[in-house]
Structure 1
Amino acid sequence: MSREVVVFNPATGEVIAKLRSATREDVRLVVDEAYSAFLKWSSLPLRERTKLLLKAAEYMELSFDDLLKTLVAESGKPIRDARAELWRAIEIVRASAEEARYILEGRAPRVDAYGYPPGNENRLVVETREPVGVVGGALSYNNPASTFAHKVAPVVAAGNTAVVKPSTHTPLTALKLYDVFKKAGFPDGVVNVVVGSGEEVFDELLENPKVAGISFTGSTAVGLQVAAKAAGRGKKYMIAPSGSDPAIVFKDADLERAAAVVVRARFENAGQNCNATKRLYVEREVYDKFVKLVLEKTVSVKVGDPTDESTDMGPLISDKMVKAMEGFVSDALSKGARLLYGGRRMERRGFYFEPTLLEVPDGRADIRALREEVFGPVLPIVPFEEEEEAVELANSTPYGLQAAVFTSDYKKAFRVASAIRAGSVMINDSTRVRFDALPYGGVKNSGFGWREGVRSTMYYFTEPKYYVFGL
C-alpha cells in the first residue's frame, strides 16, 4: 500500500491536503512517458516550443489568483512575497522562451585556421546544441513556484522533457502549475510532476537510465549525495545548495539604509532563503549605533497571518524547523552570546518563531549559528575591528554563496568584495539579489556542479554536436 503525503498549512498547523505518494514503479512509468515524449518534442521547431512557453506564461497570469491562494496556504509565505514570487516565475518562463534562440543558435567554427587535420580549407563545420533527454528536478519548499519555473521552462525550451519532484511540504503549487502547462497545450509527457518521498522518487530518477540529467535545489548535504550518485551513473547534474551569506557593515556606510536592507534580507520568508543574510559583521566604532537601528527595525517586523497584506513575516514550514531554531538559540546562549530580541516559539497556532537577534562578542566562537546554515529567522551580530578581520570572519564557514558589503568607499568595497570567497558580492545592496537569467551559485560548499539560471540551464542540458561537410 502506498503512503500518503500530508500537506499542512504552516500558519495554522491544519491539514489542507492528502495526496497519494508515488511508488518507484509510478516514477518509472512517468519516466518512460517522458522519454517517449522527448523523441517528438525535441524534433519540434524551436518557435513551436517557445510559443507554448509564452502561452503557459499567459495562462499563469490568468490563473494568478488561484495559484497565489495555493502558494500562500501551503508555504506560509506572506501574500505580498508570494505575489512577487509568482510574477518572478512568470518572468522565468517568458525569459526561457526569449533567450532560447540566442543560447541554442550554434556557430560555424573556422577550421581552416588549423593545420591539422590536413585539408581543413575544404571543410565546413557547423556546431549545434542538441537536448540531452529527460531531466529530473527537485524543487525547494521555500520558493515552490519559481523553482518549478527554473526546473521546467529552460529545460523544455531546449528540447528536453522534465520530471520534477516538489517538496512534500509544498506539492500543490507544482500540481497547479502542471495543470497550467497542460492547458497551455504542452503535449503529454513533456512536463511531469511526481509527488512522493525522496527515496521513492529521486532515487529512481538518479538510477533510471532514461534520465539524462538532474537538477536539484536543497541542502548541501543532500546535494553532495545527489551529485555523487548522478556522476557515478554518468548523468549531468546541476546543484543549487546551501548558503550562509554574510553582510559586512563599515563605519562609513549609510547605516539607516544598511539596517533596513539587512533586516529585510534576514526575515523575508521567515529567513527561509538560501541567499538570506545569515551573519552580520559590524565595524566596532559604529557597532552600538547600528545594532540599535537593526533592533528598531526588527521590532517593527509584523509577524502574522500570511493572507494579511500587512504581514511582513509568516511561519516556518514545519514544527521541525521551529525546533531547529530553538536549538540554534540555545547553543549560542550556552557559548556566550546575548539575546537581544526574540528567541522563542510564538504562542499561537502554526509554526511561528520570533524574529531573533543574537549578539556574539567573538566571531571566532564555536557557535552553530555562525558555522552552519540557519534556515530561519535568527541573526547573529558580531563586531569587528579591521577590514582584514571582517574578511576572515566572512570566509569562516564552509559556504560561499553570496555576500554583501556596505561602505561609501568604493575602493574598499571592491577590495573586500575581491577577498570574500562567494559567487556574488553585493555592494550596498541585499544578499537576496538574484538575476534569474544569469548563472546563480557559489563556491566551496555552495558551488558544485553547474550553476542554475535560464541561460546556463539551457546551455548545460544541451550538448554540442558537430556536422562536418567535406567540400
Structure 2
Amino acid sequence: VDGVFFTGSYATGAKIAQAIGPRMIRLQLELGGKDPTYVCEDVDVAAAAASLADGAMYNTGQSCCSVERIYVHEKVHDAFVEAFVREVKGFAIGDPTDESSYIGPLTRAPQLDLLEAQVADARAKGAKLLAGGRRLDPPGHWFEPTVFSHVNHTMALMPSRGPRPGTCARPENRGQSRIFSATPRPATARTVPRAARR
C-alpha cells in the first residue's frame, strides 16, 4: 500500500493517522467538522436564508462541509429563522433519482437512531423544534429536514458532527471570531454579510 485516502469522521481519521504514521506512507484525510455560519446584522435575509438552507440540506446534509450551526445576529434573528424555515419546508422529499426531489435517504441506518436521540435531547433541554424532527416511513433511511432554534451548547446536536438533513440557529451578537474560535475542527466556517450577497 503506497497511500491511504479517507473521507469521514474526525474520530476515525485520528485512528487511521495513528495506525499509518509509523509506516511513513502518503495519507490524505478529509474529515467532517461541526461547521458554523455567522449571519451578520446587515444581511439580505431572504438571500441568506435560501443560500444557507441549500448549504444545510444539500445531499441530505451528508456533505462534510454542510452548514450545521447558524449563529444569527440578534437584530435579524427572527426574520432570518422565519425565512429559513420556509425554505426548508419547501424542499421535496423523495427518490433522489427524481429531479423534483431535494431530500433523499441517509446512507446508514444507525444515523436514524442517533438523530432521534439528538432531537429528544435538544427538546428535553429547551430547544424549539421548528421543522421536521422525525424519521419517515418509506423503505430506507429517511429523516425529515429538521430545524431547531433556542439551542445551546449543552445539547448533543450542537457539538456532535453527523450526516443529517438538519441544522440549528441561535441569536448571537458576539461576532464571528469568538464563535469560530470556539469551534473544534470545523471543516468550513462562513460569514454572511449583505455585501457577500450582492
1:428 Cα deviation (Å)? 4.8
In 1, distance between residues paired with 2:41 and 2:184? 27
In 1, distance between residues paired with 2:4 and 2:95? 36
Choose the corresponding residue for 2:158, options 351, 354, 370.
370
The one-letter code of the counterpart of 1:341 is A
The one-letter code of the counterpart of 1:395 is S
Q: Indicate the SS of the match to 1:277.
A: coil
Q: How many residues align?
A: 198
> Is residue 224 of structure 1 aligned with residue 10 of structure 2?
no
Question: Conserved in 2, the CA contact under 8 Å of 1:370 and 1:397?
Answer: no
Question: Matches of residues 248-267 of structure 1 in structure 2 within 5 Å?
Answer: 248-267=38-57
1:396 Cα deviation (Å)? 2.5
The one-letter code of the counterpart of 1:396 is A
Q: Unaligned stretches of 5+ in structure 2?
A: none
In 1, distance between residues paired with 2:50 and 2:3? 41
Question: Conserved in 1, the CA contact under 8 Å of 2:122 and 2:151?
Answer: no
Question: Conserved in 1, the CA contact under 8 Å of 2:41 and 2:76?
Answer: yes
Higher-helix-fraction structure: 1
Question: Matches of residues 238-387 of structure 1 in structure 2 within 5 Å?
Answer: 238-362=28-152, 365-387=153-175
- The 3 A distance-change label for structure 1 pair 428 and 221 is farther
Question: Conserved in 2, the CA contact under 8 Å of 1:371 and 1:396?
Answer: no
Q: Indicate the SS of the match to 2:97.
A: coil
The one-letter code of the counterpart of 2:174 is E
How does the TM-score come out when normalised to structure 2?
0.93
> Is residue 404 of structure 1 aligned with residue 187 of structure 2?
no
How does the TM-score come out when normalised to structure 1?
0.40
Choose the corresponding residue for 1:395, options 173, 181, 184.
181
Question: Matches of residues 429-444 of structure 1 in structure 2 within 5 Å?
Answer: none
Question: Conserved in 1, the CA contact under 8 Å of 2:151 and 2:168?
Answer: no
The one-letter code of the counterpart of 1:242 is G
In 2, distance between residues paired with 1:244 and 1:428? 23
1:377 Cα deviation (Å)? 1.0
- The 3 A distance-change label for structure 1 pair 383 and 278 is same
In 1, distance between residues paired with 2:188 and 2:151? 24
- The 3 A distance-change label for structure 1 pair 376 and 222 is same
Q: Indicate the SS of the match to 2:178.
A: helix
In 2, distance between residues paired with 1:357 and 1:391? 24
In 2, distance between residues paired with 1:231 and 1:238? 12
In 2, distance between residues paired with 1:238 and 1:290? 37
Which runs of 4 or more aligned residues in structure 1 lie more than 4 Å from their structure 2 counterparts after TM superposition?
Answer: none
Identity among equivalent positions (%) equals: 32
In 2, distance between residues paired with 1:239 and 1:353? 28
Of structures 1 and 2, the larger Rg is shown by 1
Q: Indicate the SS of the match to 2:116.
A: helix
The CA RMSD measured in Å over matched residues stands at 1.7
Deviation string 1:317-344 (CA, Å, 9 cap, x unpaired) is: 1221111111221121122211111100
The one-letter code of the counterpart of 1:402 is T
Q: Indicate the SS of the match to 1:339.
A: strand
In 2, distance between residues paired with 1:295 and 1:265? 13
Greater RCO (Cα-Cα under 8 Å, separation 6 or more): 2
- The 3 A distance-change label for structure 1 pair 212 and 319 is closer
Q: Unaligned stretches of 5+ in structure 1?
A: 1-210, 410-426, 430-471
The one-letter code of the counterpart of 2:131 is Y
